[in-house]
Structures are given as structure tokens and as C-alpha cells.
């Protein structure tokens, strides 16, 4: 700031005034300061400004994976609205480990964000204590609970899985399997699907669980295991993600299994490729754009001190029936 002042021929105090409130200096002085900033490449210390104004214009957004389209697409809708209101996102990747999430929360809170977006509703006690002490708006997304930290926007994973089981039963499938990634929310969907389908059909549901992320290769492996170890040669497979479902379709085609006559597949997420698989994939759709927009609206209402109609926003889900079922 001192270098900018010397180039512009003004004091450091004048530079500070121009940056905090341009109306406090003359138009000519402001022009010289802006030119000096351009020449030097000076970037104002936003953290110092946040200490003084108690605002950083940063929103912390924590997701399990920045490469997963489910999370990146909802962040895109969320970020667009927040940028239009003068906020920028500070994104952190937490994996699916509550301890890792706690460490990332601590790091982000040290940057004094104005609000925080979290994925999911289950957090470590340490994370909850830090967030409550920070006294900033918090929106939890991709899930719902009656006791959010502040507010939440999402859908019921249990209800979505029950709907998928009811759909499979209604289509007449007598056998079922579930393929699940290493995610607490995916595990809840698996358990709800298994419980509902077994209640409706009275037949056990075979399960294949992975510790890591969903993948096409994992889907191929899952179907091979279901056939080899569970004798599963016909029925419906409910997948925790469309990536698994796509892999199952590839493996089914390689083995000459007719879909959906011999093997039906239901994915989750309704990703962009789902209508274009061979055959087109039936999937549980969650409107990620709507989710991101609703999360942004909730935070903006908090900033404006506008009371929310409710702390919980349930955006629901939809079963997109296509040719795999």
C-alpha cells in the first residue's frame, strides 16, 4: 500500500481510504491510485479488511469430492447466485471422513468466511462446536434433518430408496441386489432399499459394498461378483450411483445378459450420461441446480436477517423410468 501511495503521489492513509470507500477521495486521486494498483499488481489484504469490517465476502463450501459431478454441479448453481451478490467461494474437499472434514472446517474458519456450506448432516462433535462458536450462517446440503446446525436443503435418502424398492416391486422383479459406495448416505439408501424390498417380496437382497468411490470398473466387478458368489443371474440391481449402474450395463452386455428382460438396473443421481447409456438408464433424479439455488437463497436470507419459512427445505426426488427397467 505504501508503494501504491508513492507511485500515486499520495499518503498510505489516502490509499486505504480509497480502497475502503472511494467516495472519500477525489476522482483524480482515485484515478491515480487505481493506475498505481494496476502497475504494481497490488492486491488488497482482504483478511485485514475482514478483521475491521467483520465481513470477508467469502463463502466456504465443503464437499466430499470436487471431481464428482453430483457435488460440482450443485456448487455451480450455488456459486453463480453468490457471485452475483458479491461473494466468492472457497472450496474444500473433505472425502467421506468426519475427522478430515473437521480439519478442513478449522482451516476455513480461520479465514473468517461469512457463511459455510456443508455436505451432509452428520458431523463430528468437534465440527459442530466450532460451527456453533463461529456464529455464522451454515447450510447443510444433500440431506435433511429436523435438527440442522442452522438450516438444511436436500431430500430424504431413505424415502428415495424406499421409492426405488416400491418401483422395482411394482415392475414385478422377484430378486434384487444393491451395489453401494463407501458413503454414509449411500449406506442409508442401501439399508432402506433392502428393508423395503425384503418386506415386499420376502426374499433376501444380495449386497456388494465398496469402501471407495463409485466407478464404472466397480460396477463391472460388482455384477461379476453377484453372479459368481451369489448366483444372481436375474432380477434388479439398485446402485448407489449412476457410475456403478453404467459399469453393470457394460458387464451385462459382455456376458450376453439381456437388459431389462434378464437383468434390470436402477441408478442414482440421473447424471448427464444416464439417458444415453445402452439401453438408457433408469435413475433416481435429484435436481442439483435447484438444490444449489435453494442453498444460496437460504444463506442470502440469513444475511438479510429475513426469517426462513422453515429451517428444512426438502426438494424431493423423482424416479426417471427408462429402458433398463
The yes/no answer on whether domain 157-285 falls in CATH 3.40.50.2300 is yes
Residue 283: its H or E element: strand 282-285
Across the range 242-249, mean pLDDT stands at 98
DSSP per-residue string spanning 60-122: EEEES-SS-HHHHHHHHHHHHHHHHTT-EEEEEE-TT-HHHHHHHHHHHHTT--SEEEEESS-
More confident residue, 107 or 45: 107
Cβ 264 vs Cβ 168: under 8 Å: yes
Residue 251: pLDDT above 90?
A: yes
pLDDT value of position 67:
86
Average pLDDT over residues 50-71: 81
Q: Which CATH number fits domain 56-155+288-315: 3.40.50.2300, 3.40.50.300, 3.40.109.10, 3.50.50.60?
A: 3.40.50.2300
Residues 200-240 have pLDDT tens digits of 999 999 999 999 889 999 999 999 999 999 999 789 999 99
Average pLDDT over residues 20-44: 85
Taking all residues of the chain, what is their mean pLDDT, rounded to a whole number?
92
pLDDT above 70 for 118: yes
- Partnered with residue 62 across adjacent β-strands are 92, 118
Q: Does domain 2-44 have CATH number 1.20.120?
A: no
According to DSSP, the β-strands at 235-239 and 263-268 are parallel
Let me know if the fold of 2-44 is the same as that of 56-155+288-315.
no
Cβ atoms of 118 and 141 within 8 Å: the answer is: yes
Determine whether 53 is exposed, middle or buried from the number of CB atoms within 10 Å of its CB (0-12, 13-18, 19+): exposed
Which residues pair with residue 61 across a beta bridge? Answer: 91, 117
Arithmetic mean of pLDDT, 140-154? 95
pLDDT tens for 275-309 read 999 999 999 999 999 999 999 999 999 999 887 77
d(CA 258, CA 216): 19
Sketch the domain layout of the chain as residue ranges.
2-44, 56-155+288-315, 157-285
Q: How distant, in Å, are the alpha carbons of 17, 65, 111 from that of 94?
A: 39, 7, 17
Query: What pTM was computed for the model?
Result: 0.82
**How would residue 68 be classed by pLDDT, with cut points 50, 70 and 90?**
confident
- Please confirm whether the linkage preceding 260 is cis (ω < 30° from 0): yes
Amino acid at each position: 500500500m505504501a508503494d501504491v501511495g508513492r507511485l500515486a503521489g499520495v499518503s498510505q492513509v489516502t490509499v486505504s481510504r480509497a480502497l475502503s470507500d472511494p467516495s472519500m477521495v477525489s476522482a483524480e486521486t482515485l484515478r491515480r491510485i487505481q493506475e498505481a494498483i494496476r502497475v504494481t499488481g497490488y492486491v488488497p489484504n482482504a483478511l485485514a479488511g475482514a478483521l475491521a469490517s467483520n465481513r470477508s465476502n467469502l463463502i466456504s463450501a465443503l464437499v466430499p469430492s470436487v471431481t464428482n459431478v453430483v457435488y460440482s454441479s450443485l456448487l455451480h448453481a450455488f456459486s453463480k447466485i453468490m457471485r452475483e451478490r458479491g461473494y466468492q467461494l472457497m472450496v474444500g474437499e473433505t472425502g467421506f471422513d468426519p475427522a478430515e472434514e473437521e480439519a478442513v472446517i478449522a482451516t476455513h474458519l480461520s479465514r473468517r468466511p461469512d457463511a459455510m456450506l456443508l455436505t451432509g448432516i452428520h458431523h463430528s462433535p468437534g465440527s459442530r462446536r466450532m460451527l456453533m462458536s463461529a456464529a455464522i450462517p451454515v447450510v447443510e446440503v444433500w440431506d435433511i434433518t429436523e435438527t440442522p446446525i442452522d438450516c438444511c436443503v436436500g431430500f430424504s435418502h431413505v424415502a428415495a430408496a424406499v421409492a426405488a424398492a416400491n418401483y422395482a416391486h411394482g415392475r414385478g422383479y422377484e430378486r434384487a441386489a444393491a451395489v453401494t459406495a463407501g458413503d454414509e448416505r449411500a449406506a442409508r439408501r442401501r439399508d432402506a432399499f433392502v428393508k423395503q424390498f425384503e418386506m415386499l417380496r420376502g426374499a433376501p437382497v444380495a449386497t456388494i459394498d465398496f469402501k471407495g468411490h463409485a466407478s464404472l470398473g466397480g460396477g463391472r466387478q460388482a455384477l461379476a461378483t453377484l453372479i459368481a458368489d451369489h448366483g444372481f443371474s436375474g432380477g434388479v440391481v439398485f446402485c448407489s450411483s449412476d457410475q456403478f449402474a453404467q459399469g453393470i450395463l457394460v458387464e451385462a452386455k459382455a456376458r450376453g445378459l439381456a437388459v431389462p428382460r434378464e437383468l434390470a438396473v436402477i441408478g442414482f443421481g440421473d447424471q448427464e450420461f444416464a439417458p444415453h447409456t445402452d439401453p438408457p438408464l433408469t435413475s433416481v433424479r435429484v435436481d442439483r441446480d435447484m438444490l444449489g439455488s435453494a442453498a444460496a437463497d437460504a444463506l442470502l436470507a440469513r444475511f438479510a436477517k429475513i426469517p426462513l419459512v422453515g429451517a428444512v427445505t426438502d426438494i424431493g426426488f423423482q424416479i426417471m423410468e427408462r429402458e433398463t427397467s
